[in-house]
Amino acid sequence: MLPRQTRIMTKLRELALRNSSTNSIVGNQLKHRYGFHTIRQTCTEFPRKLKKTERKPWVTNINELKRIGRAERKERQIVRERILQPPQNGLLVNELIPVAHQVNADRIQLFTCVSKVAQSIAIYSCSVCGEVHIGHRPHKIRTCNVMGSAASKEHCWRRGAVEHVLPPVESFHLYDRLGRAVSHNERLQVDRIPAILELCVQAGIDLPEYPTRRRVFPAYSISGRVIDFEKRFPKEDAPGEDIYACGFWQKRNNISDDNKSVDMQPCDLQATAVRGMEAWERMRSGASRLMEIYAAQTCGYCSEIQVGPKGHRVRNCQAYKHQMRDGQHAWQEATIDDVVPPVYVWHVRDTQSEKPLVNELKKYYGMLPAVVEMFAQAGASVPNDYVVMMREDVAVPEWDEEKLVV
């Protein structure tokens, strides 16, 4: 009885496959006959702004994170010593120390180039939603859709600054990377510095104004707890020296003076833009390489970031459902866009034209990061990674011709 049923089911399966293949061939012939064929999309989608109720996408799949957590809990039940690899054991990765110095140098050069180019190319920022536009004539695209905006969704433009092109993203400076997290009561006692600079400091850069602990002997892990056999404060660390008790609420000029340390000679605008574009690419690629080894955490609902193996415990999150978390952040793995956020703006093809970008033709316009758009308008060539987003291959019709476009 069983072999007969098996033969019947096999015949039915072969008949179904034959019919499906025939239908697919006929369907394809009909589609090509009547012109209903699919065209591969040649342009990538623009970055979508997340809603306030949406969480940032996970870098690692949530199921993989659960599997890793179960394996770690099972490992902690076994009392044995586990040897850690740098930088989990507190030591530096020697191969990444030159990369950290290069990223810091590119950061300083990028800030200098943006400041130079901003003197010739106008920066506009919306006073309601914060959208940025690069160029002389601000666009007329009605995308101001936040609380307090006008009914027409038009932007209220005002002159911007370098901070709108390179938004500052700060992180708590950690003296000991393997130490405990910053508590809520210590939020005014620990300095906050740019996250990209904190990443370079943890990767091997030594700054006198921001001391950090450099271990000589590695730390070990026993039952999930990190055991350190070194003294808490070695003599060469000199605790208390060069540490200011003012906190970060007082404006300190160390970072700004460091950014202005590169004194560029007076030269043409295009050469400055080319150097800035190269510094932007090197900084992002170097920071991405550092973040593969030195972890950074970000909140899934707000822009808070903490460079280190774990997030801080400061309860200052005001994003979605922060009451359920008692103001604490929903930490997850950070990406390069969290440390160096690209502010996307509408791409202006013809910088000499007096006509602004209009709302009726916005589907034909491209977008670029604000830094790339500024350097592109100054004469620098756009990297290949952003060529598709520019939509240079899409012809923009006139306003009265848009209704004739098929």
Q: How far apart are CA 254 and CA 243, in angstroms?
A: 13
Contacts of 33 (CB under 8 A, 6+ apart): none
| pLDDT attached to residue 126 | 95
Q: How far apart are CA 169 and CA 338, in angstroms?
A: 8
Let me know: does 298 contact 334? Beta carbons within 8 Å.
Answer: yes
| pLDDT attached to residue 13 | 60
Q: Which amino acid is at 9?
A: M
Q: How far apart are CA 377 and CA 349, in angstroms?
A: 9
Q: How many residues are there in the chain?
A: 406
pLDDT at 153 over 50: yes
Read off the pTM: 0.79
Q: Mean pLDDT, to the nearest integer, of 238-266?
A: 45
State the greatest distance between any 2 C-alpha atoms of the chain, in Å, as a whole number: 93
List the beta strands (DSSP E) in 220-278: 220-222, 225-227
| pLDDT attached to residue 252 | 46
Q: Mean pLDDT, to the nearest integer, of 69-76?
A: 89
pLDDT, tens digit, 9 for 90 and up, residues 316-360: 999 998 999 999 999 999 999 999 999 999 999 888 888 899 998
| pLDDT attached to residue 79 | 79
pLDDT > 90 fraction of the chain, expressed in percent and rounded: 58
pLDDT, tens digit, 9 for 90 and up, residues 31-56: 333 333 333 333 456 778 888 899 99
Residue 112, SS3 per DSSP: helix
| pLDDT attached to residue 51 | 87
**At 3, is the pLDDT very low, low, confident or very high (cuts 50, 70, 90)?**
low
Strand partners, 307: 296
Q: How far apart are CA 257 and CA 259, in angstroms?
A: 5
| pLDDT attached to residue 44 | 52
Q: In the predicted model, what is the mean pLDDT of the chain?
A: 82
| pLDDT attached to residue 37 | 33
Q: How far apart are CA 293 and CA 86, in angstroms?
A: 9
Let me know: does 210 contact 201? Beta carbons within 8 Å.
Answer: yes
Q: What is the DSSP string of 17-63?
A: HHHHHHHHHHHHHHHHHHT-------SPPPPPPPPTTPPPPPSS-HH
Tokens of 243: 């540490």
Of 329, 340, 293, nearest to 94 (Cα)?
Answer: 293
